[in-house]
């Protein structure tokens, strides 16, 4: 349910472990990479015989992967030209070995220089030593210029080659080997430009940079390729970043025909204030639609009728006599929890709580007494930035970028500029699991591991969407999930519900509809998984 997203240094460590500790020859790993990339190309383009294919090979092992692909393309009868960026004698080791193989079977080869590439772009032809020419724009371009080890900015010569390649391939299929050249394998950012690929055959595992939103316009379809690195290598050097895979639905609570409502989780939502009664209502609805057996909203007494809002399934716990929060209401709630220790299995604190002094005093008192698994969201996070409280051991915080900025004492722009670092800092600061919401939501745990939900869902960008996620996450905590699993499953389930709505219509969704779509999203996964 979690797929590794190594950064380039981690991937290099796995490569070296496979070669030096396991004893797999580097030439074999390179051969496997090239053949797997060729399979990706075949699946996309069909038969490759007579296709006009331009293969660009850079100076390192990424160029070696390109040599393998070029050799197989030539063997299949493609009209292929291999352009290498350094002198043939400079290729050593695994790359040199595969260059020699490509030459032995007669693969057409020429040295790649900016001037040669410029002339080809202008005239549409490259002359070969045997008197034959490679003429016409490529139907397929293979990018093997720079791999995941690339750092810094493109040199002037490589920058020009990348620019020309992008200009001449508007009507071609572009396959990047491991990563589009010019893209940073850790951040997904172009340096300053990158090859715009239609397909990226990435070797061993999807690199972190390829999974980030910044890379999407360059990678095209990302196809992970198994090149034979044993799992032992991954386990001996675990990565710090993971993708939340659809299989996380496999751990979702399953219907038990013999269960009663108390066994399906009991969640207490704490929130609501004048003008914000919809937030705890939506949190409760999110929990109920996911399958929670019992949901109660604790709120100032005068607000409880509005919070139920035509949903008799939502129970309320009226506190005090009016619509204001206070430390007295906190003491009343603590007494209720102490007198009923088994009634609730988890709490969701914050939806619509408000930012009044009374709400701050309420949270200050109750925060010292909470021991149940708790998800903190919305206005609870606003007050946490000032209270500096220790959270329960089984807690999850779910800030959006603005709330995260307040918690970390920086700007929203700084949060968005490096979301991974921000999520990690939140988890470290509060010693708990942190969900940094947004397109490609992130889940960080205290040891610093990052779990990425690689879905950007427009329908989730509506008021109340986060409240639904709060209720959903609270339900999963109530069902006994660890904070990490509750957060990861909650984020993925929530995004899947939004994606399900997007398939029905692109705009105009309401947060309540996201809650209503939770069951449909799970059913859709179960249906696809059973096929």
CA dist list (Å): 282 to 9, 189, 309, 339, 467? 43, 37, 10, 27, 6
- Spatial CA neighbour of 168 closest among 124, 130, 105: 124
Is 147 assigned to a binding site?
yes
- Helix (H, G, I), strand (E, B), or coil: what is residue 324? coil
The total of other beta-carbon atoms located within 10 Å of residue 73's CB is 26
Nearest C-alpha neighbor of 41 from the set 11, 76, 5: 76
| 352 annotated as a binding-site residue | yes
Would the annotation count 438 as a binding residue? yes
**Residue 176 CB: number of other CB atoms within 10 A?**
32
Annotated ligand binding at 440? The verdict is yes
CB atoms under 10 Å from CB of 361, counted, come to 17
Q: Which of 158, 175, 173, 177 is nearest to 95 (CA)?
A: 177
Residue 204 assigned to a binding site:
no
* Burial status of residue 218 (CB atoms within 10 A of its CB: 0-12, 13-18, 19 or more): buried
| Listed residue (43, 72, 75, 69) closest to 56, CA to CA | 69
Annotated binding residue at 63?
yes
Which residue's structure tokens are 């992967």? Answer: 65
Q: Is 75 annotated as a binding residue?
A: no
> Cα–Cα distances in Å, from 247 out to 2, 241, 526?
8, 17, 10
Q: Is 467 labeled as ligand-binding?
A: yes
Does residue 46 have a known ligand-binding role? no
Long-range contacts of 125-132 (CB under 8 A, 24+ apart): 126/81, 128/81, 132/108
CA-nearest of 100, 184, 195, 104 to 144 is 195
Other CB atoms within a 10 A radius of the CB of residue 380 amount to 27
* Angle between helical axes of 156-168 and 114-123 (0-180°, round to 10): 20
Helices (H), 368-460: 379-387, 401-408, 412-417, 419-430
**Binding site annotation covers 152?**
yes
Flag whether 160 is marked binding. no
439 annotated ligand binder: yes
The verdict on whether residue 150 carries a ligand-binding annotation is: yes
Residue located via tokens 């108390």: 262
CB atoms within 10 A of CB 381: 23
Maximum C-alpha span of the chain: 94
Flag whether 65 is marked binding.
Answer: yes
441 is annotated as contributing to ligand binding: yes
CA distance 436 to 212: 14
Binding residues for AMP: 437-441, 466
Binding residues: 61-65, 143, 147-153, 178, 181, 279, 352, 400, 437-441, 466-467
Binding residues for K(+): 62, 143, 181
Binding residues for (6S)-NADPHX: 61-65, 147-153, 178, 279, 352, 400, 467
């Amino acid at each position: 349910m979690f797929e590794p997203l190594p950064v380039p240094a981690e991937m290099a460590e796995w490569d070296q472990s496979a070669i030096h500790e396991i004893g797999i020859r580097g030439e074999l790993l390179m051969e496997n990479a090239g053949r797997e990339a060729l399979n990706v190309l075949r699946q996309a383009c069909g038969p490759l015989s007579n296709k006009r294919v331009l293969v660009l090979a850079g100076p390192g092992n990424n160029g070696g992967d390109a040599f393998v692909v070029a050799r197989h393309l030539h063997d299949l009868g493609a009209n292929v030209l291999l352009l290498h960026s350094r002198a043939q004698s400079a290729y050593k080791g695994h790359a040199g070995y595969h260059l020699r193989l490509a030459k032995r079977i007669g693969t057409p080869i020429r040295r790649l220089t900016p001037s040669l590439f410029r002339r080809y772009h202008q005239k549409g032809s490259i002359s070969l030593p045997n008197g034959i020419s490679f003429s016409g724009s490529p139907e397929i371009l293979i990018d093997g210029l720079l791999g995941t080890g690339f750092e810094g900015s493109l040199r002037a010569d490589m920058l020009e080659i990348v620019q020309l390649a992008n200009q001449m391939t508007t009507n071609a299929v572009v396959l990047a080997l491991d990563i589009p050249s010019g893209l940073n394998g850790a951040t997904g950012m172009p340096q300053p430009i990158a090859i715009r690929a239609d397909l990226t055959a990435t070797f061993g595992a999807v690199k972190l940079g390829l999974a980030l939103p910044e890379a999407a316009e360059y990678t095209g379809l990302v196809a992970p390729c198994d090149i034979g690195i044993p799992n032992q290598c991954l386990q001996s050097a675990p990565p710090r970043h993971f993708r939340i895979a659809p299989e996380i639905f496999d751990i979702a609570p399953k219907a038990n025909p013999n269960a009663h409502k108390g066994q399906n989780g009991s969640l207490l939502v704490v929130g609501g204030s004048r003008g914000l009664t919809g937030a705890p209502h939506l949190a409760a609805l999110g929990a109920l639609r996911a399958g929670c057996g019992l949901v109660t909203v604790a709120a100032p007494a005068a607000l409880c009728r509005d919070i139920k809002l035509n949903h008799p399934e939502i129970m309320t716990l009226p506190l005090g006599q009016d619509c204001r929060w206070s430390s007295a209401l906190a003491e009343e709630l603590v007494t209720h929890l102490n007198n009923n220790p088994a009634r609730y299995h988890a709490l969701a604190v914050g939806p619509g709580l408000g930012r009044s002094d009374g709400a701050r005093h309420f949270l200050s008192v109750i925060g010292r007494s909470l021991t149940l698994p708790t998800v903190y969201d919305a206005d609870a996070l606003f007050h946490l930035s000032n209270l500096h409280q220790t959270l329960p051991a089984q807690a999850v915080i779910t800030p959006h970028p603005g709330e995260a900025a307040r918690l970390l004492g920086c700007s929203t722009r700084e949060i968005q500029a490096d979301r991974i670092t921000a999520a990690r800092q939140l988890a470290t600061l509060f010693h708990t699991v942190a969900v940094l919401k947004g397109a490609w939501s992130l889940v960080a745990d205290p040891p610093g591991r990052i779990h990425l939900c690689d879905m950007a869902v427009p329908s989730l960008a509506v008021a109340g969407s986060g409240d639904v996620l709060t209720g959903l996450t609270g339900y999963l905590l109530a069902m006994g999930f660890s904070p990490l699993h509750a957060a990861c499953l909650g984020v993925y389930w929530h995004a899947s519900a939004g994606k399900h709505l997007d398939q029905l219509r692109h705009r105009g969704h309401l947060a309540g509809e996201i809650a209503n779509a939770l069951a449909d999203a799970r059913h859709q996964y179960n249906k696809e998984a059973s096929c």
